[in-house]
């Protein structure tokens, strides 16, 4: 089968979405499919650029890198936080201006030129290679709009839309202009109308779209992501900020404080330091990937047992996970999604300490099903008690240290293929 992916998060970009698409295409290609990927041609100073990831793409996959366009080149986030020779204050003002432009003027997102370039090139690819299936991924919605153009020009080709996140139902949409919201709702409706099949990552998101757009359930499916097998013995005796004489609790991925509230953790750790010093002195918490709120970041830094790392290469993040004694997982405060990192955690021989945002958090059901660690709600008292219990009894439940084979990438890819083939 000939499959064309449209994905603007793909190596060398290092984020959860990129790793997911990388593994989808690699494993689909190994299964005998001819896979092509339409993706942006990212500049090397892009904030998530990780050149090592390029070597993880199977050599038989055809990757077509499409020009981003002049608008994106002016506003993309760079590795350096300071812009040129500007002062930090001036650089901050420029960043605020860029965010405002992207939030209110770029419809649906800052890839507005890229999607048109991608559609033109994609049309030629489809005709030349006789593509069987187009799969457009949600990161970002511009991928779906490129897919929509391709479907209109090639109605005989099956078009599958992959919704890793809801589009117009995201919590932050209320902060955008009314014009932008209305236009995007219209665009989303057009995408839904033309799509042949819909892939979702949670039941909650699927139900939301079925009820909002009257999509027949038979045209939908739930798909997953997975983990790469990894050997601790191959981690080159990794230490980093881990401490051999401590119980190391690790979280990977940037903490977006609008989605994940770390204040209860801060309160719990302060209480442990004052009331349970023997427990506090045994733990070392490493948060890998950064925190987007400067105030929260400072509060975390001020706690003796907490270390913060900004963005690190993919392999280094893997080393931290696989050499941990426990993994921290926060559910999202808003929306109906499951953080992608949970599936990578399933491949780690360490327990997962799950902190749910609320009783509607879809992470809860998933974690109960796999039974790979304690599950609590996000309040200081429960976090404090969970840490105490884990320190005292972390080795008593051996099954917490097992991987979850169902989510190996090879199994996830087989499941995906069965759902795009029917």
Average pLDDT over residues 259-270: 96
What is the per-residue pLDDT for 90? 46
80: confidence class by pLDDT, cuts 50, 70, 90: low
Is the pTM higher than 0.85? The answer reads yes
Q: Is pLDDT of 91 > 50?
A: no
Q: Is pLDDT of 335 > 90?
A: no
What is the per-residue pLDDT for 238? 75
What is the per-residue pLDDT for 77? 86
Q: Which of 207-216, 223-232, 235-244, 368-377 has the lowest mean pLDDT?
A: 235-244
Q: Which two structure tokens, joined as six digits, stand for 245?
A: 């004489």
Q: Is pLDDT of 216 > 70?
A: yes
75: confidence class by pLDDT, cuts 50, 70, 90: confident
What is the per-residue pLDDT for 99? 58
HSE of 218 in the Cβ direction (CA atoms, 13 Å)? 1
Q: Select 2-227+410-421's CATH number: 3.40.50.10300, 3.40.50.2000, 3.30.70.20, 3.40.50.300.
A: 3.40.50.2000
Give me the architecture of the 232-402 domain, per CATH.
3-Layer(aba) Sandwich (3.40)
Q: Is pLDDT of 81 > 60?
A: no
Average pLDDT over residues 173-200: 92
Q: Is pLDDT of 84 > 60?
A: no
Average pLDDT over residues 70-86: 68
Average pLDDT over residues 383-412: 95
Q: Is pLDDT of 248 > 70?
A: yes
Q: Is pLDDT of 344 > 50?
A: yes
2-227+410-421 against 232-402: fold identical: yes
What is the per-residue pLDDT for 83? 38
Q: Is pLDDT of 305 > 60?
A: yes
What is the per-residue pLDDT for 167? 92
Q: What is the mean pLDDT of the chain?
A: 91
Residues 370, 347: contact at Cβ < 8 Å? no
Instruction: Please write down the HEC assignment for all residues of 205-247.
Output: HHHHHHHHHCCCHHHEEECCCCECCCCHHHCCCCCCCCCCCCE
Q: How many percent of the chain have pLDDT more than 70?
A: 91
What is the per-residue pLDDT for 408? 97
Q: Is pLDDT of 82 > 60?
A: no
Q: Which of 66-75, 88-97, 290-299 has the lowest mean pLDDT?
A: 88-97
Per-domain residue ranges for the chain? 2-227+410-421, 232-402
């Amino acid at each position: 089968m000939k499959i064309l992916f449209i994905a603007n998060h793909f190596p060398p970009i290092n984020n959860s979405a990129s790793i997911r698409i990388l593994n989808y295409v690699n494993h689909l290609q190994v299964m005998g499919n001819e896979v092509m990927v339409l993706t942006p041609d990212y500049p090397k100073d892009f904030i998530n650029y990780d050149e090592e990831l390029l070597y993880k793409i199977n050599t038989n996959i055809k990757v077509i890198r499409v020009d981003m366009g002049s608008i994106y080149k002016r506003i993309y986030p760079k590795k350096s936080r300071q812009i040129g020779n500007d002062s930090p204050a001036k650089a901050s003002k420029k960043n605020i201006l860029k965010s405002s432009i992207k939030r209110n003027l770029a419809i649906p997102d800052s890839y507005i030129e890229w999607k048109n370039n991608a559609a033109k090139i994609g049309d030629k690819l489809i005709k030349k290679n006789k593509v069987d299936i187009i799969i457009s991924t949600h990161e970002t919605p511009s991928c779906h709009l490129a897919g929509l153009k391709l479907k209109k020009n090639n109605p005989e080709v099956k078009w599958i839309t992959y919704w890793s996140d809801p589009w117009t139902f995201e919590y932050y949409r209320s902060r955008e202009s009314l014009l932008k919201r209305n236009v995007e709702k219209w665009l989303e409706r057009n995408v839904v109308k033309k799509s042949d099949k819909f892939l979702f990552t949670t039941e909650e998101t699927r139900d939301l779209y079925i009820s909002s757009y009257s999509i027949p359930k038979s045209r939908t499916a739930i798909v997953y992501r997975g983990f790469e097998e990894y050997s601790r013995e191959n981690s080159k005796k990794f230490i980093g900020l881990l401490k051999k004489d401590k119980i190391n609790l690790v979280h990977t991925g940037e903490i977006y404080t609008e989605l994940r509230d770390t204040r209860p953790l801060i309160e719990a750790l302060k209480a442990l330091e004052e009331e349970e010093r023997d427990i506090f002195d045994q733990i070392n918490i490493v948060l890998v990937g950064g925190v987007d709120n400067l105030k929260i970041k400072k509060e975390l830094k001020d706690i003796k047992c907490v270390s913060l790392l900004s963005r690190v290469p993919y392999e280094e993040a893997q080393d931290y996970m696989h050499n941990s004694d426990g993994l921290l997982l926060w559910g999202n405060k808003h929306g109906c999604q499951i953080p992608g990192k949970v599936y990578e955690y399933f491949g780690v021989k360490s327990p997962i300490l799950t902190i749910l945002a609320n009783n509607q958090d879809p992470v809860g059901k998933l974690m109960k099903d796999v039974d790979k660690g304690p599950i609590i709600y996000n309040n200081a008292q429960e976090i404090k008690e969970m840490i105490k219990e884990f320190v005292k009894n972390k080795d008593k439940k051996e099954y917490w240290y097992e991987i979850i084979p169902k989510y190996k990438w090879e199994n996830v890819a087989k499941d995906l293929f069965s759902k795009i083939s029917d």
